[in-house]
Structure 1
Amino acid sequence: MKAMVQDVYGPPAVLRLEETDRPVPGKGEVLVRVHAAAVDQGVWHLVAGMPYAIRAAGFGLRAPKSRVPGMDLAGRVEAVGPDVTRFRPGDEVYGSGTGSFAEYARAKEDRLAPKPVNLGFEAAAAVPVSGCTALKALRDGGRIEAGQRVLILGASGGVGSYAVQLAKTFGAHVTGVCSGAKADLVRSLGADEVVDYLHEDPVDGRRRYDLVLDIAGNRRLSRLRRALTARGTLVIVGGEEGGRWIGGNQRQLTALLLSPFISQNLRPLASVEHHSDLQVLTDLIEAGKVTPAVDRTYPLAEAPDAIRHLREGQVRGKLVIRVGGPQEH
């Protein structure tokens, strides 16, 4: 099969397209013929091996254990491993797996769900990681309630584009933060207000929110807390600063230590895709309440370009990798 592979950590240029063996599904796993995959910050972190904590977490100290990157996927079931009961060959699925930048990828059964009937494979591939992260951030981390005022920092990115739509479905008043060039996208997603962070500080304390989502940000906790009500909740979704060793996780560790001693709730988010969350997203997508925002689609051979484009910070929504098979259902 064709796949993007890497033998060392590094910039996107370490990736190359080559023929490699098709994976074999193990117990509780499904082999998916991948029609489309997607790019997010997690993919870049695993390609680069940065911060170093990622390597120590089991992904390979000196070189990546998995030669093929990629997590988001949408495609058709090719084969199933022992003990798989929910899927059979030919089923159209989406979710997250191992090595989705390839014609075939393995995925745990509980990380897949039937593909939404009203989405093509490319649009469906843009949902799993970012959509599940946004859902967990609002519902589980933020414990969002109807009528709350919600501030979403990073509203135009992959996770943010879903968070805006989901917060509206929960009945919240949503303020999205992005650059002025992306304000039209955030408004189209349903935000009640949009703040251009290049011209206004969204956490200067002049407005307070019941729930703040900081998505891949680098603002200090002391600044973020100024935007919270006395008993408001801050959910930290990743981080792209903080050094080579633990990166943005430093803020998350600080939040865990500080939260028990203050009236505000500071909650770092750890998100893993699960079929039950994918089903929630499927129901909302099929009801027309949530729609993937796909900025651009790349062929598999240009996956390194997609990762570079993501890191430039100009993406509106999600980037998708077209792998094979039909592009629309």
Structure 2
Amino acid sequence: MKHFRAGLCFLMMIWAMAEVEADKKPKAFSSGTHFPEYHDYGSSAPEPDRDDPLHPMLGIPVENRQQMEKKCKNITRIRYGYSAKWTDAPFQVSIRRLDLDRWESFGMGHYCSGSIIANNAILTSGSCLKGQGRAEIGVVVGTLNRRKAILEATQLLFPANIIVHPRYLSENDPRFDIGLVLTSRRMEIGPKVAKIKIDLNAPSARTKCKTYGWGITSEFGADYTDCLQRAALSIVDRRDCRSLTTEYITNSTLCARSSLDSDPCTADLGSPVVCNGKLSGIVTRKDGCEGTAHADTHMSLFQHKQWIKKLLTEYHVRSDDDADSGARLVYTSRIYVAMGVFAFILGTCIF
């Protein structure tokens, strides 16, 4: 009986110690319980090398993060722009059509971008979401190359809700070209997947800003860039903007002029306009790549901040750090519980 009790105590102590050690390790996808089969891309997809490690969610070969950034370094897409680094836009997401991703290859379904404003909320252009069903699109976060994945950051998320501004009717009326994707599970936030705060103030004229995207190579190009690109913008006063564009100027217009002839192009729709480190606008209505002689009209978030706040409240989405604090609290509690069980078992076995 003594030997049985000692053996049982020993096994329970090992279990408690294992729980503590398990909680110390980062969990790349701890909030997900099941991932649908996503690696069947059809006969046109190349067969992965058997020696290549596969992404547990996507079923595709993974790439080292340093290698990905290095390969992207010399690729230019946003006209005279530069390839983005991991630290530039960890809030950037790729919105894609799942049928193309599945049956052609990973990344081929990309058609719009968006920005992470909460653990399960993506802000993008309304034109990117109008007419799209929840089963038709997915959101990929944590990659610089839209066609590749890294083990510690890349995640695929599916929409739980797709919300387009109720007053957005068509591309001909840009005043309400804004939408929100609420994902079915929380994404894992980290150095390469991060939230961006919404600017509560409208940026003033001549404010230096940045935008990012995976859009087409040029005005007459047909292919999207693989690597995320960045470009510099300068805010233009709306009164001056009228002489630089033929677009309809409204109170919701954020007018920006590209620097060094760099310019967002088609398929950069939904991309962020970042001023002073905050999300100030969304790239909308991009039909070409005009460069410095032309001003682009983007969607100003300042005019829609109350609508965004109302939605986040209605769907109980926390855009601040409370959600992360809650996750850390659960994480810490599990360690304390395991340590408490360990101490109880040890005391029982000794006395």
Give the TM-score taking structure 1 as reference length.
0.25
- Greater share of residues in strand: 1
Give the TM-score taking structure 2 as reference length.
0.24
- Greater share of residues in helix: 1
Larger C-alpha radius of gyration, 1 or 2? Answer: 2
